[in-house]
Homo-oligomer: A and B are copies of this chain.
Amino acid sequence: MPIETMIRKLRQHSELPNEDIEALRSVVASVKSLPGDSPIVREGELSTHCCVILSGFAYRSKVSENGKRQILSFHIAGDMPDLHGLPLKRMDHDLTTLSEARLGFIDHNALERILATRPALARALWRESLVDAALFRQWIVNLGTRSASGRMAYLIAELRQRLGAMGMVANEQFDFPITQSKLADALGLSVVHVNRILQRFRTEGILDLKRRVVTLGDLEKIVQLGGFDSLED
C-alpha cells in the first residue's frame, strides 16, 4: 500500500494517534492511473477532492499573461499537491502529471467529516501545507539569487533530498522523467540555455540527465553550485 509514503511524510513533522492514521487511510476512496501530461486540476476550477501521489511525478504550473508558463514545483510519491484546495476551493494554478502516475483521491466532504473530530489530523494537514509554502520560498530564493547553473544544481539537489527521504535514490541515481523545455519553464530560462548547462554538467562530470534519469556525478559540486545546505537526508 504505497499510501504509506504519505503517512510517513506526515509523521515526519506531526505526531498522530493511530486512529487518525486509520481514519486518513480509510478516506482514500479511489486510485487511478494517469498517463504523463494529464491535467489533474486546472486553474480556476473548484476542487471537490484532493489527491495523493502514490507513484510517479506531477508538477504545478501557472501561465502568466505574457504567455510563458512557469512551473512552480515538482511533486513525488507521498505528496498531496492540492491539499490547499480543501480550505480554499478555487485553484490558482494547474496540476499536471509529469510522467505516468498513480493517484489516490480523497473526497473533500469525507475528509472534512473526519477532520471535524480529529484536530490533531487537521493540524497535521495544516502543517503539511506550510511545509509546501516553505518550499515555494526556497524556490523564490533560487530564482532570485542564483545564476542559471546554480538554479539547475539547486533543483537537482532538492529533488535528490526529497526522493532520498522516500528511499527513491539508489546508486546516486534517480528517475526524473522531464524534458528540457519543462526544466526551462521551472527555472525561468530558455530551452537552449538549459541544454547548454546540462551539457556542461555532463562533460564536467557533475551530473548527467539523460533518458529521464539523473545520475549524480559530483555531489559536492552540485551542493556547492546550488548552495544547498543540508546534505543529510
Contact = CB atoms under 8 A, between A and B. Distances in A.
A64 B119 contact: no
Contacts of A133: 84, 129, 132-133, 136
Given A133-B132, A150-B66, A143 B143 contact: yes
Nearest to A187: B144
* Identical chains in the assembly: 2
Interface string A197-233: 0000000000000000000000000000001110000
Contacts of A186: 144
Chain A, interface size category, equals: 35 or more
B141 A140 contact: no
Contacts of A141: 62, 64, 70, 72
Contacts of A70: 140-141, 144-145
Contacts of A126: 87, 122, 126, 129
Interface string A11-48: 00100000000000000000000000000000000000
A130 interface: yes
Given A122-B122, A140-B140, A227-B65, A88 B130 contact: yes
A142 B130 CA distance: 21
A33 to B, nearest CB: 28
A162 interface: no
Interface centre among A60, A123, A130, A186, by most chain B C-beta atoms within 10 angstroms, is A130
Interface in A72-94: 72, 84, 87-88, 92-93
7 contacts: A62-B138, A70-B141, A92-B137, A129-B129, A129-B133, A140-B143, A143-B188
Given A143-B143, A143-B188, 7 more contacts: A64-B141, A64-B145, A65-B229, A70-B141, A87-B123, A136-B136, A136-B140
